Structure 1
Amino acid sequence: MDFTHPRPLIVCGFGRSGTRMCANLLANAGVVELQGEIPREIAPGTLSWLSDVRAGAPADQPDRIYRLARSVFRDITPARPMDRPDAIWFGHKTPHHERHFDGYEAIFDHPEGLPVYVYCLRNPFHVWRSYRVMPWGGFDRASGFLKSWLRSVAAWERMLQVAPERVLLFNLDAMIHAPDRAAWLDETLFAPLGISAQTFRKPLEAIGNTNSAEAKLGVAPSPPPPGDLRVIARNRQAMAVVRAHFPWIEDEIRAGSGVGLFRT
């Protein structure tokens, strides 16, 4: 039996790093069926169950697990489910699911249906500014946040080592700084997924970040205390990531207190 099912697409990354913006952009394409977040408390069990089903699936039904997973993703996310019969991609957007990379690889193992991942990355200074003002932030100190952020980045780097051709990077800051956002998105996100602008449901400029801290709070969050900025700026691992993916930031830090970081 030939494999005829849409391929899995998983949007992940550290929280407050543009996962919702990325999902909004992708879901704007009519050929993408992207569900909302899988609740944290049931995600491990759900993926383990799907893995067990995959292990016992008949060899002559290669797309059975894909049909089941698509239905599961649609049913267990709290948001209104998306149902697009003509989709060429199906999946969900859930922060921190880079930690479940091995699980997805075990579930979706057909050579013609290997999953593609979009990892959302944002500079740690802005991520911490957003995290610290959210009521569910979960971090009391910048040091604890940074440790978790670096773990997420390490998981993404491992994904790149295992499946470099199937891991895309959505760098939120690079998109913001791009002189031509539409061109940047096409090169970075849409073209690699075979998505044409002809499938868009609305113009790209009409797609907003509905989950930003400002949208949630009604006002832009204030910059973190200088001490928090120093915790991040003095961490060699964090600054290596900053230099590689946000090169303009280090110059701003050297120029002063770093407050200029929060103009955008």
Structure 2
Amino acid sequence: MINMFLNGLEESKEINPIIVCGAARSGTRMVTDLLNEHPEIAVQEEMHAKTIESFFAFLKNVDDVYDHYSERKGRRLDGSWNLSKAAFAHTFFACANKKDCIGTNKSLKFHGIKTPGYERYFEEFESVFSTLLPHYVYCVRPVAKVWRSWRSMGYLSDLEVFKIRYQRSLRQAIKIKASAASRFVLFDLESFVESDNKEQFVHDNLFSRLGFGEKSVRLASISSLPNRNSLKNRGREYVKDEALQEEVALLEGCTKIREFKEKLGLVAV
């Protein structure tokens, strides 16, 4: 099935890599569902960090082997290997994620993967896709709501550890924006939720940023997209205790988080 949209190396060279990332509980699932509404985009489901790290380690090992034998031969031997890496990575995204491969019935312009935290692998993605460089869709949400979700889901109970991780994610997003501004898309989940015209918002802040025209896709089906909210699916409710209110006040008063978000072009924390 995967070969239906990866028919050889030549075709895969024309597929733009796309990485949907951001701090967990910041809207990566919603953005992935929106992107997958497009007939020329397929974003695969999440992949464990150790899985993608194993893949990057494998690529490095192969590179090292080619370096060794190229040095012995006195000429480069990895021309074909370097040209094949992008196709290999696309196939890996399609095969090694948590769910079945999607997009096999599409003629793809963009193909990639969605996983919170993958912004930290920016340099690795840039290296793998050195010919046709990736686009990055970074999802962001008010820090208080992210923390409430983390606490409610049981991800973490230590506020200071959360701040470190959240700020690290924002710093990496700033780095990507500075290094690859034309390929960096910031999707503000709160602005999307509050928008009166969600179809237009998605076009202006997502599809047009990826180079698609006004009529590239109709999103009238936004309201009918399935609710994949992890809290509801797991039968949980948001935490509403007094400690949370104090923690929210601390986060909303954090000057470093505010500074990082302003650098990304956001005003609200």
Deviation, 1:190, is: 0.7
Match of 2:100?
80
Instruction: Please tell me whether Structure 1 or Structure 2 has the larger radius of gyration of its CA atoms.
Output: 2
Match of 1:161?
178
Contact 1:213 1:221 in 2 (8 A): no
Separation in 2 of the partners of 1:85 and 1:69? 18
Partner deviation per Cα, 1:181-232 (whole Å, 9 max, x = no partner) = 1111101101122345554587222224513433443545536622211221
Q: What is the root-mean-square deviation of aligned Cα atoms in Å? A: 2.7
Deviation, 1:233, is: 2.5
1:217 aligns with 2:235: yes
Report the secondary structure of 1:20's partner residue. Answer: helix
Count residues in correspondence: 244
Contact 2:170 2:261 in 1 (8 A): no
CA 1:121 to 1:87, structure 2 compared with 1: closer, same or farther past 3 Å? same
Write out aligned runs for 1:1-264 (5 A). Answer: 4-50=13-59, 58-59=78-79, 63-82=83-102, 83-110=104-131, 113-135=132-154, 137=155, 139-195=156-212, 198-199=216-217, 203-217=221-235, 219-222=237-240, 225-241=244-260, 245-247=266-268
Separation in 1 of the partners of 2:219 and 2:48? 27
Report the secondary structure of 2:176's partner residue. Answer: helix
Letter in 2 for 1:14: A
Report the secondary structure of 1:91's partner residue. Answer: strand
CA 1:129 to 1:185, structure 2 compared with 1: closer, same or farther past 3 Å? same
Letter in 1 for 2:222: L
Contact 1:50 1:69 in 2 (8 A): no
Separation in 2 of the partners of 1:105 and 1:52? 17
Report the secondary structure of 2:223's partner residue. Answer: helix
Contact 2:152 2:236 in 1 (8 A): no
Separation in 1 of the partners of 2:40 and 2:62? 27
Report the secondary structure of 1:245's partner residue. Answer: coil
Report the secondary structure of 2:31's partner residue. Answer: helix
Range moving further from structure 2, 125-134 or 234-243? 234-243
Letter in 2 for 1:101: F
Separation in 1 of the partners of 2:100 and 2:80? 33
Separation in 1 of the partners of 2:60 and 2:88? 11
Separation in 1 of the partners of 2:216 and 2:48? 33
Separation in 2 of the partners of 1:163 and 1:54? 25
Separation in 1 of the partners of 2:85 and 2:63? 6
**5+ residue gaps, structure 2:** 1-8, 67-76
Match of 1:260?
none
Match of 2:5?
none
Report the secondary structure of 1:225's partner residue. Answer: helix
Contact 2:46 2:113 in 1 (8 A): yes
Partner deviation per Cα, 1:151-193 (whole Å, 9 max, x = no partner) = 1000000111111111100110111122211111101101122
